[in-house]
Copies of this chain bind each other. A is one copy, B any other.
Amino acid sequence: MKPTDTKQKIMDTAEHLFARDGYRGTSLRAITGKAGVNLAAVNYHFGSKTSLLETVIRRRILPLNQIRKKRLEQLRENARKKKKTPDIKDVLTAFIEPTLLFMESSPGAKNFIAFIGRSFTGPDDTVRKVFMRFIKPMFYLLFEAACDSLPNQPQETIFWRLHFTMGALFHTMQLSGNVDIGPKNLHADINAKSLINHIIPYITAGMKAR
C-alpha cells in the first residue's frame, strides 16, 4: 500500500465517521479500524486528532468557498454593469446552489456536507472553531450582497433573516450523507436538485417578507 493510500483512507473514513457520530463520538481506533490501517498511522501522518480534523475540513472547504466566492462576485459584477441591484433570489442561489450541488460531486463530499450542517450548530468548540474560521468570511460576502439586493430593509433585519436562512440550510445539509441520520427515512429522495428547488422559494420569500 502506498503511503498516500493510507493517508487518503484515513481522511475518507474520518470524514464519514465524523459526519455520522460527531468528532467527539469518533475515536481514532474506530477510524483506523474501519480504514484497515494501524492506529499509530494517524499520529504519524497527521500529528494529532485535531490536526486530522482540520485537514479533513480544509480539503473540501477551500474549493467550495472558491466557487461560492466566484459566483457571488460574478453576480455583483453583472448587476453593476446593468446598473441594477442584484436580485435577492440570485444572491441566495449563488451561495446555496454550489453548497448543495457539491454533495453530489463525490460520495465523500456528501458526508462532508452533512458534517458541516451538524457541526455548525454543535456544542463542540474544537469543530466549530475550525469551521467558523473558514465560513465566516463567506457569510460576510453573502451579507454584503444581500444588503445590496434589499436596500430598503434595515441591516439588522437582513442579518436576522440570513441567520434563519443558515438555520434552514444547515438543518437541510445534515440530511445528506450516506449516513443513517434520524428522520432521513421520511425523505425518500434526497438529491441536490430537489433540495434546491424546495429551499430557494422558501428562503427567497422569507428574505423579502413584508
Tell yes or no: A28 within 8 A of B by CB.
no
- The copy count of this chain in the complex is 2
A25-B124 in contact (CB<8A) = yes
B22, B24, B118, B209: the one contacting A201 at CB < 8 Å is B209
Interface residues of A in 181-210 (CB under 8 A from B): 182-183, 186, 198-199, 201-210
Chain A contact surface mostly:
helix
Chain B, Cβ-Cβ closest to A18: B123
B19, B171, B209: the one contacting A164 at CB < 8 Å is B171
- Provide the residues of chain B in CB contact with A32, threshold 8 Å: none
Chain B, Cβ-Cβ closest to A199: B164
- What is the size, in residues, of chain A's interface with B at 8 Å between Cβ atoms? 44
- Provide the residues of chain B in CB contact with A167, threshold 8 Å: 167-172
What residues make up the interface of A, taking CB atoms closer than 8 Å to B? 19-22, 24-25, 117-118, 121-124, 128, 132, 157, 159-161, 163-172, 174, 182-183, 186, 198-199, 201-210
Enumerate 30 A-B pairs (CB-CB under 8 Å) in ascending A order. A22-B123, A24-B24, A25-B123, A25-B124, A118-B122, A121-B170, A121-B174, A122-B122, A128-B182, A132-B183, A157-B198, A160-B199, A163-B171, A164-B172, A164-B199, A164-B203, A167-B167, A167-B168, A167-B170, A167-B171, A170-B171, A201-B209, A202-B206, A202-B207, A202-B209, A203-B206, A204-B209, A205-B206, A206-B206, A206-B209
